Amino acid sequence: MLESIRADLLQWFANHARDLPWRRTRDPYAIMVAEVMLQQTQVDRVIPKYHAFLAAFPTVETLAAAPTAEVIRLWAGLGYNRRAVNLQRAAQAIVAHHGGRVPDSIAALRSLPGIGPYTAGAIACFAFEQDVAFLDTNIRRVVRRLCVGPDQLVAPTDSELLAHAEALIPPGQGWTWNQAIMELGALICTATGPACWRCPLRQHCRAYAAAVAADEVLATTVAAPALKRVAEPRSNEPFIGSRRWYRGRVIATLRALPTGTALPLSELGRQVRPDFSPNHEPWLQQLVSDLARDGLLVITEQGVRLPE
Ligand code: SF4
């Protein structure tokens, strides 16, 4: 069973893999940039930004030494701007503590700012070709559906899912396997509309078997009901008016200013919300304090600006 899961997915990947720029390199710095960008942003939005970012900051050293405002500006369109600041801090730590070379051990990677278990695993696997298991949203979803299914009453923990993910990796083929399972999650086993009828793992999948059993219809005719049963809601966009949305508006407003220019708080308030009034001042102050704490802006006597 394990062998045929591996063979079926690897065969599918050999035929359907997208040609993505970060799959053509083993440069650990480029992989790190790609993985941080991909954490919460879709592939088609990442591709042009990935090229632009590496053109502007081609090495760990150039990123470490760049003005933070430039790094935040280049991050425009990717969202979650804090990642830009953390990526630069990671580059600075690599220069300071690792001689400018991205470390290859999970422990050393985890010690870098903004590098969590997923990104550390992805860098170890995709840059250094280690057989490491890790869970991003795609892998977590595929592993859960494939190995656990909907019948387990208690939701599986991440360590259970990680154990399943680890067991699935064909020895010596971690790079291809992890790319393949992520690709399946992105293209076939999606959150809201898994295309089970064309999934190479259908015959091994617990979620699919449960969906078919529940509908009591043969597999070839159950695509739609099975999909509904397997699907789950998902949204990665900030709600208009949410805190994350306003954080993005503040940074977008500051990005548009010439380098070093500070904007008075009241003017910033008017630019991020048309209904801005003195009543909103405590709210705005809290918002910019949080952004300053995250390293995304600087509060000065003249107002707020991007970090130099
Ligand atoms: S059969 Fe369906 S639920 Fe199972 S892994 Fe494939 S797409 Fe996902």
What distances in angstroms separate CA 178 from CA 33, 43, 133, 294, one per listed residue?
18, 16, 8, 31
Cα–Cα distance measured from residue 182 to residue 67, given in angstroms and rounded to the nearest whole number: 34
Average pLDDT by stretches of 10, the chain with 308 residues = 95 97 98 94 94 98 97 94 96 98 97 95 98 95 92 85 97 98 96 92 92 62 51 60 86 88 89 86 91 91 90
As a whole number of angstroms, the distance between CA 275 and CA 285 comes to 16
pLDDT for the residue 272? 85
pTM of the model: 0.85
As a whole number of angstroms, the distance between CA 222 and CA 32 comes to 41
CB of 205 sitting under 6 A from ligand 1: yes
Neighbouring residues of 99: CB distance < 8 A, sequence distance ≥ 6: none
How many whole angstroms from 263 Cα to the centroid of ligand 1?
51
* 148 contacts 161 by C-beta, under 8 angstroms: yes
Judge whether 85 and 72 are in contact, CB under 8 Å. yes
pLDDT of residue 215: 66
**Closest C-alpha to ligand 1, atom 8:** 189
Q: Cβ–Cβ contacts within 10 Å for residue 27, how many?
A: 16
Residues recognised as catalytic? 35
pLDDT for the residue numbered 218: 42
Q: Is 139 in the pocket of ligand 1 (CB under 6 A)?
A: no
Distance of CA 198 from the midpoint of ligand 1 (Å): 9
